[in-house]
């Protein structure tokens, strides 16, 4: 499928409906986090149901969805974890995917669930890095085989924000993503700000990374801003996109012929700091980027 122009959008959060109402023409796409649309009572509640939906948020999202494209962007499936796929959660995600008509679906190339004491699926509290080796590849590949038909849409995996070197990897992250694309029919959600995080923490060279990844893999881009915590630069989604991230988007973006969407991630707790006008200006810059990438791709095809 040839994509004419990448859609511009936002990661959903409780203030996104207000942004959509304020600037409806600037938001074409919304990345929806299913995990934020339910409460998970994994160990049971009085009614015996595990998932209880946040119905108000879902209804609000359905109103925002009119005339827009939606995709799923999940956190809780924790595909690289060694435990089996959480089928009950996957089914709940699949229900939402059908109801909200997700056009594609992404998960993270990091672990949010880890074994701890007697519990095989303790919440890590943040995304822990994965050793990129054959074992991790097989764990993810097998889960994708189960998950893809349940969701009925294209799957992407997102590169992670890393703060320290990860020992014991046989492949680099781009090599791992290239293999997911060629051997597991799974695209890449390339978070350019996560590359910035790795670079600021001295873990990776973003340019080397961007040279190494197969451009055909990249079907969605995330941009964001972060800040420092305890001597580390973090992916806190607290600010506007840094200039270097924009540079990489303009320099490497024209290679990404399968790019479907460019998404700005901000956390709602920083909405006051960013301001409505700040988010509008970020969206306008993203539209300029999408136009530029579309014109370069078309001129190359011509």
Which residues contribute to the site for Fe ion (CB under 5 A)?
191, 222
Maximum Cα–Cα distance for the chain, whole Å? 63
Which parts of the chain are beta strand (E)? Answer: 7-11, 29-32, 38-40, 51-53, 69-73, 102-108, 111-116, 119-128, 154-158, 187-191, 218-224, 228-229, 232-233, 261-265
Nearer to Fe ion by Cβ, of 90 and 261: the residue is: 261
Nearer to Fe ion by Cβ, of 61 and 224: the residue is: 224
Q: What residue has token string 């929806």?
A: 32
Q: Phi and psi (nearest 5°) for 131?
A: -80, 120
Nearer to Fe ion by Cβ, of 110 and 297: the residue is: 110
CB of 197 to Fe ion, least distance (A): 10
Interhelix angle 134-151/173-184, nearest 10 degrees = 50
CB of 222 to Fe ion, least distance (A): 4
CB of 194 to Fe ion, least distance (A): 6
Nearer to Fe ion by Cβ, of 222 and 285: the residue is: 222
Shortest Cβ contact with Fe ion: which residue? 222
Nearer to Fe ion by Cβ, of 11 and 293: the residue is: 11
Rounded distance between C-alpha atoms, residue 281 and residue 225, angstroms = 14
CB of 109 to Fe ion, least distance (A): 11
Q: What residue has token string 């990776």?
A: 204
Nearer to Fe ion by Cβ, of 51 and 259: the residue is: 259
CB of 137 to Fe ion, least distance (A): 21
263 has which bridge partners?
9, 222
CB of 124 to Fe ion, least distance (A): 17
Q: Compute the C-alpha angle 105/36/65, nearest 5°.
A: 60
CB of 43 to Fe ion, least distance (A): 30
Nearer to Fe ion by Cβ, of 147 and 189: the residue is: 189
Task: Decide: residue 2, CB within 10 A, 0-12 exposed, 13-18 middle, 19+ buried.
Answer: exposed
Write b or e for each residue in 200-214: b if 16 or more Cβ atoms lie within 10 A of its Cβ, otherwise e: bbebbebeebbeebe
């Amino acid at each position: 499928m040839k994509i004419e122009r990448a859609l511009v959008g936002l990661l959903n959060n409780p203030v996104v409906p207000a942004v959509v109402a304020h600037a409806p023409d600037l938001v074409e796409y919304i990345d929806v986090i299913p995990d934020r649309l339910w409460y998970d009572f994994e160990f049971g509640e009085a009614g015996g149901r595990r998932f209880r939906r946040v119905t108000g948020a879902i209804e609000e999202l359905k109103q925002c969805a009119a005339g827009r494209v939606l995709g799923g962007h999940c956190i809780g499936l924790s595909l690289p974890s060694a435990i089996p796929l959480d089928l009950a959660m996957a089914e709940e995600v699949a229900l939402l995917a059908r109801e909200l008509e997700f056009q594609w679906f992404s998960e993270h190339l990091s672990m949010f669930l880890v074994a701890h004491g007697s519990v095989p699926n303790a919440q890590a509290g943040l995304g822990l890095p994965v050793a990129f080796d054959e074992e991790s590849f097989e764990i993810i590949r097998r889960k994708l085989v189960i998950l893809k038909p349940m969701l009925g849409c294209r799957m992407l995996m997102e590169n992670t924000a890393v703060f320290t070197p990860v020992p014991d990897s046989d492949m680099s992250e781009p090599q791992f993503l290239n293999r997911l694309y060629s051997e597991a029919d799974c695209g890449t959600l390339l978070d350019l700000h996560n590359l910035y995080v790795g670079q600021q923490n001295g873990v990776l060279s973003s340019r080397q990374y961007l040279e190494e990844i197969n451009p055909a893999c990249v079907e969605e881009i995330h941009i964001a801003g972060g800040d420092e915590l305890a001597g580390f630069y973090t992916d806190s989604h607290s600010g506007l996109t840094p200039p270097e991230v924009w540079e990489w988007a303009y320099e490497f973006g024209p290679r990404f012929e399968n790019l479907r969407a460019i998404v700005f991630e901000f956390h709602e707790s920083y909405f006051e700091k960013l301001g409505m006008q700040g988010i509008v200006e970020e969206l306008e810059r993203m539209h300029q980027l999408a136009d530029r990438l579309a014109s370069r791709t078309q001129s190359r095809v011509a």
